[in-house]
Amino acid sequence: MRITRVLGAALLALGLAAGPAAADSSPSPSASADDDAPTQAGTSFRTAAEIEQGERATASGSTGDYLYWSFPADTGQRPTVKATVKLPARHGAETWQLDVYDGLRRRQACQYGAQSRTAAPDAGSVELACVLRTVRGWSEPWANDPLPGTYYIRLTVVDLAAFDLGQPVGAEVRVDSKDIGGAAAVDGSLGKPLVPGIAVKSAQEKEGSKEAVLSSFGRDGWSSGWWSDRWVWTGIGGVLAALAGIGGYALTRGSGRPSRVPPGA
Amino acid sequence: MIRRQRLAVGVCALFAALTAGIAFPSGAVADETEQTAPKVELVLDVSGSMRTRDIDGGTRMAAAKQAFNEVLDATPEEVELGIRTLGANYRGDDRKEGCKDTAQLYPVGPLNRTDAKTAVATLSPTGWTPIGPALLKAADDLNGGNGTRRIVLISDGEDTCQPLDPCEVAREIAAKGIGLTIDTLGLVPDAKTRAQLSCIADATGGTYTDVRHKEELSDRVGQLVDRAADPVVTPVATEGADRCEKAPALKSGLYTDREEFGQQRWYKVDVEPGQELRASVSVADDRAVNPHYGVLLRAVTVHGREIVRGEAAGTGRTDVVSTGLRYPKQDSDDDSAPAETVCLQVTQSFSAASGVKTTPGLPLELTVDVVDGPSGHRDVAAFGLGRGWWLLGALVLAGFLAGLLWGWLSRWRVSVWRTN
């Protein structure tokens, strides 16, 4: 009996320790080499430059250009998009804005972060940020929750003086994401990630031809969506329940043989 | 965490192996591109004003020549490059003659760098600035093939050949051809030139750049030529109808259309049971529009019932307004269940600024994807599993009570058995 109790206590302690540990574990954003990061941005959804998370992409353009990048985001991630615009030496006040769209080109809301900011005249740079909602594995078709797939970043100036149009600017974009884990694990999954042109692409792959694609993400590497730390929590819960059951049962038996039972019975 | 990663990696590897096995049974993959070569035409203003010495101490013409030489050296192999001039030949004062003065300096085709450079070296600033006619001719030069097409217009002054508005010319060109973009560069431009050149760029989804230094010019032109070399999906032109019955039937792919102000466009897509329809639409404002706008995309059954809609609205400066929707069709037990025809309706609420021509319509881009396997869903949480301290507490309490109950029950049973 004592052994069981000790074991029970130990398991409980382990469970308490393991639960939050499993819940809080998040992958550190893989700091990939920036050598192969794109140095140009696209000018439309169709031509968006593809970047990976954790990559620092740069681009040069002109004030007034619409600069597009795209990146993949998977279930349970909460992407943060950060952009820095280096402004020319002399300019008037101008407002820059960062918009994020999902694979269906629906605009995605930013939870927080300065999505648009006005640079004072002659300011050297302007920094923008957007923290998206957590990417869910599934949502109803009528909702516009973020789903795994391609995301587009659009960076542009939205308010400027006419004489500032066309001035050279530099832009820098980086996407990192926080793993939210089981708290955001919903049931269900998409048949295919929300990558534009994925139907055309898989047909092409079968034929073996290589053509330009709308978005090259999504061949593989997407999470299957069945794993979440909810398995750990529920499993530990089951074990603890069993132990508590044994404990409760033991309580009703008292210790040793009942006194009323005559010896030899 | 490690275990989780390993599991994920393992599952991914298994998945990849499986799909690879299915996708490439023969293992033979053709490695040729089917797109034709991207074409770029550089259109250079050689009007008299290019003599002005205000770019890094040299003339505008000298800066342009130097930039062209650098760009010609760095042009990617696959790009077919041509050069057209405007205002290079006619020295007279007759406006009518001057406005016809545009000539092809180097034809669009595989590039011979030496020939092209020699041709550029002969240029000297001369005549008028017929931007509109030059753009029309340049669009003709780029005809043929299905690769990307780009015009890079370098000018230092506004069009001197009114009433043909080059901005409208650009819009007409974009409406005619598919995937033709005009990028403009202004050499030390005044406000009017800037407005006109940026209007031309906006009309075709291109970019406008203000150039005040030599290296800016060569960097930017080089960047634009490189951009043309990037492989891009060319959209298929389609024409939506004003109601569903007459609408064109679309398959998965990228489509383009034009939608006039106040017009609606209908398209049809067939969705089998167990498939998911994904559609997204972008409407670009290629002219001056009022600053509040929106777009609505509806998926409607043939009987007119709305299934799902995507809507977006915006305010302020923008290139496109876009939205999308998805419609997973439930799998049917009946294998012979027919495909459902889903009608897609696109409407936009842009309004033209005063004095802006409303034809041709605004460019519309439609992506349709019909993918297998609709999303499955049974519970709010993954597999109905629980999480958190409340869950643990509830389970422990329930287990404890169950144990207690079981203990009492068995004690009671023993005592009943004993007394009998």
pLDDT in tens, B190-221: 899 999 999 999 999 899 999 999 888 999 99
- Residue B373 corresponds to which tokens in the numbers above? 């396997």
Q: How far is B32 from chain A (nearest CA, A)?
A: 7
Residues in chain B: 420
pLDDT band of A34, cuts 50, 70, 90: low
Residue B327: what pLDDT? Answer: 94
Residue B35: what pLDDT? Answer: 58
Rounded mean pLDDT of B338-366?
92
* A253 contacts B411? CB cut-off 8 A: yes
pLDDT at B355 over 80: yes
Q: Taking a contact as any Cβ pair under 8 Å apart, which residues of chain B between 277 and 306 contact chain A?
A: 278-282
pLDDT at A6 over 70: no
Q: Which of A144, A227, A247 sits opposite B400 (nearest CB)?
A: A247
Taking only the tens place, the pLDDT of each residue in B95-137 is 777 788 888 888 998 888 899 999 999 888 888 888 998 999 9
Q: Is A254 on the interface with B (CB under 8 A)?
A: no
Q: Which of B33, B252, B377 sits opposite A188 (nearest CB)?
A: B377
pLDDT band of B230, cuts 50, 70, 90: confident
* C-alpha span between A230 and B381 (Å, rounded): 9
- Local structure of residue A260 (DSSP, 8 states): T
pLDDT band of A210, cuts 50, 70, 90: low
* C-alpha span between A102 and A154 (Å, rounded): 11
| CA A229 from centroid of its chain's CA atoms | 16
E strand or H helix that includes residue B410: helix B389-419
Mean pLDDT over the full length of chain B: 86
| Burial of B352 (C-beta count, 10 Å sphere; 0-12/13-18/19+) | middle
Residue A49: what pLDDT? Answer: 93
* C-alpha span between A251 and A236 (Å, rounded): 22
pLDDT at A1 over 60: no
CATH class of this structure's domain B235-372: mainly beta
Q: How far is CA A247 from CA A10, A233, A240, in A?
A: 14, 21, 10
Q: Which of B234, B374, B407 sits opposite A191 (nearest CB)?
A: B374
Rounded mean pLDDT of B77-82?
90
* A163 contacts B194? CB cut-off 8 A: yes
* C-alpha span between A19 and B392 (Å, rounded): 10
pLDDT band of A230, cuts 50, 70, 90: very high
Residue B117 sits at φ, ψ, to 5 deg, of -65, -40
Q: Which of B195, B210, B184, B188 is nearest to B43 (CA)?
A: B184
Cβ neighbors of B36 (< 8 A, separation 6 or more) are B145, B146, B147
Residue A9: what pLDDT? Answer: 45
Q: Which residue has the tokens 């820095």?
A: A84
Rounded mean pLDDT of A202-230?
76
Q: Is A124 on the interface with B (CB under 8 A)?
A: no
For an interface test with A, give the residue of B202, B323, B375 to mutate (most A CBs within 10 A).
Answer: B375
* A250 contacts B395? CB cut-off 8 A: no
Q: Is B363 on the interface with A (CB under 8 A)?
A: no
End-to-end CA distance of chain B: 59
DSSP code string of A69-128: EEEEE-TTEEEEEEEEEEPPSS---EEEEEEEE-TT-PEEPEEES-SEEEEPTT-SEEEE
Residue A263: what pLDDT? Answer: 59
- Residue B61 corresponds to which tokens in the numbers above? 């013409």
Q: Which of A103, A187, A231 sits opposite B378 (nearest CB)?
A: A187
Rounded mean pLDDT of B262-272?
94
Nearest residue of B to residue A229, measured between CA atoms: B387
pLDDT at A249 over 90: yes
DSSP code string of B381-409: BGGG---SHHHHHHHHHHHHHHHHHHHHH
Q: Which of B28, B387, B400 sits opposite A233 (nearest CB)?
A: B387
**DSSP reduced 3-state for B310:** strand
Q: Taking a contact as any Cβ pair under 8 Å apart, which residues of chain B between 311 and 330 contact chain A?
A: 312, 316-320, 322-328
The residues facing B352 across adjacent strands are: B289
Q: Are strands A125-132 and A77-86 parallel, antiparallel or unpaired?
A: antiparallel
Nearest residue of A to residue B206, measured between CA atoms: A43
Min mean pLDDT across A96-105, A127-136, B43-52 is at B43-52
Would you say the C-alpha torsion A124, A130, A131, A135 has a positive or negative sign? negative
Q: How far is B285 from chain A (nearest CA, A)?
A: 13
Would you say the C-alpha torsion B133, B138, B140, B141 has a positive or negative sign? positive
Rounded mean pLDDT of B360-377?
87
Q: Is B126 on the interface with A (CB under 8 A)?
A: no
Residue A257: what pLDDT? Answer: 56
Q: Taking a contact as any Cβ pair under 8 Å apart, which residues of chain B between 144 and 203 contact chain A?
A: 186, 189, 191, 194-195, 198
Q: Is B18 on the interface with A (CB under 8 A)?
A: no
pLDDT at A20 over 60: no
Q: How far is B96 from chain A (nearest CA, A)?
A: 32
Rounded mean pLDDT of B20-48?
62
Q: Is B31 on the interface with A (CB under 8 A)?
A: yes
- Residue A144 corresponds to which tokens in the numbers above? 């516009």
Q: How far is B135 from chain A (nearest CA, A)?
A: 21
pLDDT at A111 over 80: yes
Cβ neighbors of A97 (< 8 A, separation 6 or more) are A115, A116, A128, A155, A156, A157, A158
* C-alpha span between B13 and B26 (Å, rounded): 20
Chain B residues in contact with A19 (beta carbon < 8 A):
389, 392
Nearest residue of B to residue A236, measured between CA atoms: B392
Whether residue A213 contacts residue A197, with contact meaning beta carbons closer than 8 Å, is answered with yes
Cβ neighbors of B244 (< 8 A, separation 6 or more) are B266, B268, B300, B302, B343, B345
Q: Which of B1, B194, B205 sits opposite A166 (nearest CB)?
A: B194
Residue B2: what pLDDT? Answer: 44
How many Cα atoms are found within 13 Å in the side-chain-facing hemisphere of B187? 31
Q: How far is CA B166 from CA A68, B93, B132, B162, B203, in A?
A: 27, 21, 4, 9, 10
End-to-end CA distance of chain A: 23
Taking only the tens place, the pLDDT of each residue in B284-343 is 999 899 999 999 999 999 999 999 999 999 999 999 999 999 999 988 888 788 899 999
Q: Is B2 on the interface with A (CB under 8 A)?
A: no
pLDDT at A163 over 80: yes
* C-alpha span between A237 and B393 (Å, rounded): 8
The residues facing B292 across adjacent strands are: B315
Q: Is B404 on the interface with A (CB under 8 A)?
A: yes
Residue A264: what pLDDT? Answer: 58
Q: Which of A64, A38, A20 is nearest to A182 (CA)?
A: A20
Residue A226: what pLDDT? Answer: 82
- Domain regions of chain B by residue span: 39-229, 235-372
Residue B20: what pLDDT? Answer: 41
Cβ neighbors of A59 (< 8 A, separation 6 or more) are A38, A39, A40, A41, A49, A67, A69, A170, A171, A172, A173
pLDDT at B415 over 90: no
Rounded mean pLDDT of A212-223?
79
* C-alpha span between A148 and A132 (Å, rounded): 13
Rounded mean pLDDT of A168-180?
94
Q: Helices B166-176 and B131-141, interaxial angle, to 10°?
A: 20
pLDDT band of A58, cuts 50, 70, 90: very high
pTM of the predicted protein model: 0.85
For an interface test with B, give the residue of A24, A74, A190 to mutate (most B CBs within 10 A).
Answer: A190
Q: How far is A119 from chain B (nearest CA, A)?
A: 17
* C-alpha span between A237 and A243 (Å, rounded): 10
Q: Which of B319, B320, B375 sits opposite A138 (nearest CB)?
A: B375
Q: Which of B243, B242, B273, B238 is nearest to B253 (CA)?
A: B238
**DSSP reduced 3-state for A161:** coil
**ipTM higher than 0.95?**
no
pLDDT at B279 over 90: yes
Q: Taking a contact as any Cβ pair under 8 Å apart, which residues of chain B between 193 and 232 contact chain A?
A: 194-195, 198, 205-210, 216, 219-220, 223, 226-227, 230-232
DSSP code string of B73-136: HH--TT-EEEEEEESSS--SS-HHHHTT-EEEEEEEES--HHHHHHHHHT----S---HHHHHH
Nearest residue of A to residue B392, measured between CA atoms: A237
Taking only the tens place, the pLDDT of each residue in B172-190 is 888 886 678 999 999 988 8
Q: Which residue has the tokens 């994807």?
A: B369
Rounded mean pLDDT of B365-389?
86
Q: How far is A222 from chain B (nearest CA, A)?
A: 8
Residue B416: what pLDDT? Answer: 87
For an interface test with A, give the residue of B400, B415, B417 to mutate (most A CBs within 10 A).
Answer: B400
Whether residue B132 contacts residue B159, with contact meaning beta carbons closer than 8 Å, is answered with yes
Q: How far is B229 from chain A (nearest CA, A)?
A: 11
Q: Is B393 on the interface with A (CB under 8 A)?
A: no
* Winning range, highest mean pLDDT, from A98-112, A205-219, B109-123, B154-168: A98-112
Residue A133 sits at φ, ψ, to 5 deg, of -75, 165
For the domain bounded by B39-229, which CATH number is listed? 3.40.50.410
Which residues in chain A belong to E strands, given as ranges? 49-50, 56-62, 67-73, 77-86, 94-101, 107-108, 110-112, 116-119, 125-132, 149-159, 168-179
Cα Dmax for chain B: 131
Q: Which of A15, A166, A186 sits opposite B186 (nearest CB)?
A: A166
Q: Taking a contact as any Cβ pair under 8 Å apart, which residues of chain A between 175 and 214 contact chain B?
A: 182-183, 185-192, 194, 196-200, 202-203, 205-206, 208-214
Q: Taking a contact as any Cβ pair under 8 Å apart, which residues of chain A between 62 and 91 contact chain B?
A: 62, 64-66
Q: Which residue has the tokens 């002005």?
A: B52
Q: Which of B360, B354, B367, B365 is nearest to B261 (CA)?
A: B360
